[in-house]
Structure 1
């Protein structure tokens, strides 16, 4: 076991990814679909043996620059693992290309969840299982990297609370990272985190089965909810057999992506703060009240004009549809409630896709599987703006809340603003690149937001005309694939990797 802990991180991840191929292979073999079972079974054996050989060859490797090695392994995982996952997928799908298979695996592993195979019958149930499983593994990898790699380097949102320069850990962190490599710390943290992550997925799966969902559908829903990937087996949440009960169960488990406190071993610099006083929870509760309320009021006014305002069942459905979909896109999951579209029939008004874009851009909690800007950064910017408004009225006033709140309003807001500007620049670059390839501005913007925020269903729901990934060109898919990786890793981590200050550590 000690020898495994000393291996390079990419070798360990490749071995785990290879063994994961045995699950779709076994599923396909159980249904006598050997055309699908063979590529995954052979791929599991071949890539696991390759991982073993590379592990033996690199068993004595010790990086000279530990911090740079950690970030390079993080970025390298999002470059190499989708290729690894795509090889058996490409062999199992008829009439496809390796580029399409790679794009599908990048989307799954980054928990984006956008798919090119929008015809459910195009993929067998085992391939849908593989997509959901890759997304689930990607969600767990996000949690692990946040705790074991980004947090020690003061990245991933921790910099808002810590008051330290992003890319540089606290005093003593260098000795810790030298004593324990990234693979060592990833595996040690997984011992704490994986039982909870796996257990919650299993509990949700069982509850969905009790609600009336079929086995594979419930399993894909459970995997996608905990990983916030929004991947299904071709049956959208809006057509779930369990109806309202299934949506309530998924809603409860999606709320875990609002705060890092929901998982053991979380990155906490404010451990003494109760969960109901958590900044991210309070801000998420504000949006979960405000956005559905405004959407309900909009539909109610439309129903009033149509003289159907006393239809209480339709009113409840409209309110629940807005609440569920708000939670879904705030956590960057992307599930759509069945009542989201029913509200249109009640009021005769379209549901505004721009609201979903804004929710996805804000994202969920720091050190969770959700993407986006993150609620903690939004909260820091909001508190800073509130404090500046107070100083306009009372220039000599002193902001309260203690040292932690002052740090959040000042240094934390400063770092959050830098990240916001880098975030906006990323959007501008990707939109410009897609526009140069011939896409319209609206299409480019929606696809960019969907990719960078890792909220793939935006491509279908936020645009007036749903966008089909299969119709994109090779260059456009490469651009979006890179945008998904940048959105998942976060631009600050990439800049820290390229910073000479990190190289010297």
Structure 2
């Protein structure tokens, strides 16, 4: 059986950290509007008590995590923390159900960006800041998970990201402090630069801070119902730069700053930029056909593709108005994703590279049966377990998307919203297609059952599917 005590202890620490984070919007409310500040007191007190109780009940536990404990901790934390993060939504936003609050919290922590809230321009600043903080905290958690945990769990071929210097592949917490310090420093630095840029582009200080946090984390929450359509063209171009910066492998930033070397899948970056350029031009063409000017069409087209491929989910214009070609292009790009080791979600560029290279090898071996072709990635041999992991991930992605679509239609959701909603939830992109949950709508009209299904799909996608599904095997729980 997995050892639960260290999992509970570390989970208690994370709950305490999240409770401490809630103090920030409480102080903002106290500064701007004291009437809402008191509502955050139970939001802080309840998780603080639960986190402290979990730590006290398991104090003295050796913090040694094996493989099964790592799976359990990774999945358990991402399922439980949204329950805690949902408290400010339930207790400060009127007429919000548990399903709505949990959906919003999951969407925030997984940096998906789907929302059930309407009238953002009139919401209290504490609520808006809490949404942005959730995505910012979730973003750095995703980077740490992608760099330190998932490669060791061999999830979806991500063992390519495993550091060669690590000789303790079964010890998940090996050398965490140094790596965490560098990643957090880079993350804070990018956020600060983004906030300054947005401020110079005309945003207020509050708007710049919120959008900086949700851009670098590739989350997509905004303080306006119009999202980035409420801001200037300069701010939109800056957002494209910062979204792409958040979708770059963060280990690459660490190497540049430290001047060190090591394996980082940097070769994902040129294809990602190529997809943004080509896809942006396709959408620009559809926008011009719909009546937009050339410069506006290019800006909105590139912005939309950058937002989708980095799984940020911002919107500068309703691309559904540009015709079916634009909508279908965005839907296909939903499954692309950014780079491994970044805050972006989706399938990830490197998986498509590995898979396409494998298809090429198969074709060459069919033409010349006696030829042996080695599969490499950036000059590094790719073992069969990596290719199998990538294939299993793609297969699971298709299966889970199909099952989620069927489950959503069973709740009464129309097919277009169900399929695009399932796709955008599992890939953590944000907006779906259709008149309900499209770039100009929200998920609020959906039934509560559909929101629970989508929340679980967001968690599955953020945890790379296998991390959660592996625990459904009875052998996982046997001694």
Alpha-carbon contact 1:156-1:367 (below 8 Å) kept: no
Alpha-carbon contact 1:331-1:360 (below 8 Å) kept: no
- Equivalent positions of 1:418-457 (< 5 A) are 418-457=392-431
Q: Is 1:294 aligned to residue 282 of structure 2? A: yes
Cα drift, residue 379 of structure 1: 0.9
Q: Aligned to 1:490, what secondary structure does the other structure show?
A: coil
Alpha-carbon contact 2:337-2:348 (below 8 Å) kept: yes
Structure 1 unmatched ranges of 5 or more: 307-312
1:264 is aligned to 254
Alpha-carbon contact 2:284-2:300 (below 8 Å) kept: no
Cα drift, residue 95 of structure 1: 2.4
Cα drift, residue 22 of structure 1: 0.8
Q: Is 1:285 aligned to residue 273 of structure 2? A: yes
Q: Is 1:469 aligned to residue 447 of structure 2? A: no
Q: Aligned to 1:19, what secondary structure does the other structure show?
A: helix
Cα drift, residue 427 of structure 1: 0.6
Q: 1:245 aligns with which of 218, 224, 234?
A: 234
Cα drift, residue 235 of structure 1: 4.8
Alpha-carbon contact 1:143-1:368 (below 8 Å) kept: yes
Q: Which moved more, 1:93-102 or 1:64-73?
A: 64-73
1:334 is aligned to 313
Q: Distance in 2 between matches of 1:27 and 1:459?
A: 35
The verdict on how the C-alpha distance between 1:353 and 1:83 changes in structure 2, with shifts beyond 3 A counting, is same
Cα drift, residue 417 of structure 1: 1.5
Q: Is 1:227 aligned to residue 217 of structure 2? A: yes
Q: Which moved more, 1:147-156 or 1:420-429?
A: 147-156
1:319 is aligned to 298
2:10 is aligned to 9
- Equivalent positions of 1:151-166 (< 5 A) are 151-155=151-155, 157-159=157-159
Cα drift, residue 158 of structure 1: 1.7
Q: 1:377 aligns with which of 342, 348, 351?
A: 351
Structure 2 unmatched ranges of 5 or more: 1-5
Q: Is 1:390 aligned to residue 361 of structure 2? A: no
Cα drift, residue 488 of structure 1: 0.9
Q: TM-score, normalised by structure 1?
A: 0.83
The verdict on how the C-alpha distance between 1:220 and 1:458 changes in structure 2, with shifts beyond 3 A counting, is farther
Q: Distance in 2 between matches of 1:40 and 1:496?
A: 37
Q: Distance in 2 between matches of 1:379 and 1:364?
A: 12
1:482 is aligned to 456
1:85 is aligned to 85
Q: Map Cα deviations across residues 38-61 of structure 1 (whole Å, 9 max, x no partner).
A: 122343244324423331221123
**Aligned pairs, number:** 470
The verdict on how the C-alpha distance between 1:488 and 1:273 changes in structure 2, with shifts beyond 3 A counting, is closer
Q: Which has the higher helix share?
A: 1
Q: Map Cα deviations across residues 444-479 of structure 1 (whole Å, 9 max, x no partner).
A: 101101211111223568977965422222211111
Q: Distance in 1 between matches of 2:454 and 2:424?
A: 9
Cα RMSD (Å): 3.5
